Amino acid sequence: MKPAAHGTTVETPFSRLLAMLRPDLVRFALWLARDRSVAEDVVQETLIRAWKSRAELKDAGAARPWLFTIVRREHARLYERKRLPTVDVDEVEALGDPALASEGDASLDDLRRAIMQLPDEYREPLVMQVLGGFSTAEIAAELGLTQPAVLTRLFRARNRLRVIYGLEAVEDVE
């Protein structure tokens, strides 16, 4: 058993990558699950799966969407496996979480709460796009939707948030 030099910590590039991206993975999982403890479970499972499948990641630049995809699938899998109850909008624990409160920026607080209360079908593609950097084509492929359907969902998500932001909602696209 050849040990590492005493007192030193050897980190692989992949483990550094995971550590660097972990905060965004937690954020993404949190916006999906709307529950901190579920989000942490999802990220834990994600890191395990990512580590085991690390050989599949040929390009470090693609790590972010790759990991976000695993988060999304682990989130779905968690609900299937553990049969967790779906969260009613009025029961969203994260709505009362102090992390939603910004320093003196009430409109940002309102926006966070409004995003939390978006239906899953609107919130998920929006978070994938804005936080995850997915293109609409990538979202369509990942969610099993047509690209026009994704455009419609993203449009409607933003249209609901326009009102919170103090703008007039525009006419729906259909």
Q: Which of residues 17-76 bind other proteins (CB under 8 A)?
A: 18-19, 22-23, 26-27, 30-31, 35-38, 40-41, 44-45, 47-48, 50-51
Map the footprint of other proteins across residues 155-174, applying CB under 8 A. 155-156, 158-159, 161-162, 165, 167-168, 170-171, 173
> 13 near 60, Cβ under 8 Å?
yes
Shortest distance, position 152 Cβ to other proteins, whole Å: 7
Contact present, 139 and 125 (Cβ < 8 Å): yes
Query: How far, in Å, CA of 79 to CA of 74, rounded?
Result: 9
The backbone torsions φ and ψ at residue 38, rounded to the nearest 5 degrees and listed phi first, read -65, -40
Q: Which of 60, 91, 120, 146 lies at the binding interface for other proteins (CB under 8 A)?
A: 91
Q: Under the criterion CB under 8 A, does residue 131 sit at the interface with other proteins?
A: yes
Give the SS3 label for residue 54.
helix
Which of 17, 115, 118, 140 forms a contact with other proteins (CB under 8 A)? 115
Is the Cβ of residue 10 or residue 144 nearer to other proteins in the bound state?
A: 10
d(CA 79, CA 61) in angstroms, rounded, equals: 30
